[in-house]
A and B are shown apart, each in its own frame.
Chain A
Amino acid sequence: EAGVVQSPRYKIIEKKQPVAFWCNPISGHNTLYWYLQNLGQGPELLIRYENEEAVDDSQLPKDRFSAERLKGVDSTLKIQPAELGDSAVYLCASSFNSGANVLTFGAGSRLTVL
């Protein structure tokens, strides 16, 4: 079974440029999460989807960040415009549902903003 797939693995951009990250969760997993991980810190939740619906986006900086999960499968996280402080690893995870005990994480997308 394929795990959670994320792309790109690495992205380097100039500040003020847009960037997008893509996530393909495990087949059949209804809940999808985007986490942000700064260097030396644990992951922090940005947004959680139940199928197509964003049910928890309180930590998503909505002035520059947006996310979507069309058809309740793949998801895209976008930053526009990127700032220097956005340099981090963006992790996607999925679970069967929000009450599931186990989250499966992807390898992450490492963003460097110059």
Chain B
Amino acid sequence: DAKTTQPPSMDCAEGRAANLPCNHSTISGNEYVYWYRQIHSQGPQYIIHGLKNNETNEMASLIITEDRKSSTLILPHATLRDTAVYYCIVKGNTPLVFGKGTRLSVIA
């Protein structure tokens, strides 16, 4: 599976949009981009995934560049409860492989 690069940490003001970037320049054509998050003392939680089109659900939006080498997870109105580690994962037919993720701190 392709590797991903994420910033180790980010801050976001409560109520503002949180934009979390992810680079995956070696992604293959059949690999999806997945996002999970892990709130303190909990297991990872699925957020969203996509192949090449932008995706939106009740939690977030996923923007994938046309060349698929990078993506951005958008939390439109961040709340304090969105403080967590966010993992960007590129996955083909193998189990999820987690990196260190981005620690997002939402600040009041």
A residues at B contact (CB < 8 Å)? 4, 33, 35, 40-45, 48, 56, 91, 93, 98-99, 101-108
Contacts and interface: CB of A to CB of B under 8 A. Distances in A.
7 contacts: A41-B100, A42-B98, A45-B96, A56-B95, A91-B43, A93-B44, A102-B46
- Interface of B, secondary structure class, is loop
Nearest to B103: A40
Contacts, number: 45
Interface residues of B, number: 18
B95 A33 contact: yes
Interface of B: 32, 34, 41-46, 49, 87, 93, 95-101
A102 B34 CA distance: 9
A98 B95 CA distance: 8
A42 B101 contact: yes
A33 B34 CA distance: 17
B22 to A, nearest CB: 13
Contacts of A42: 87, 98-101
A89 B34 CA distance: 22
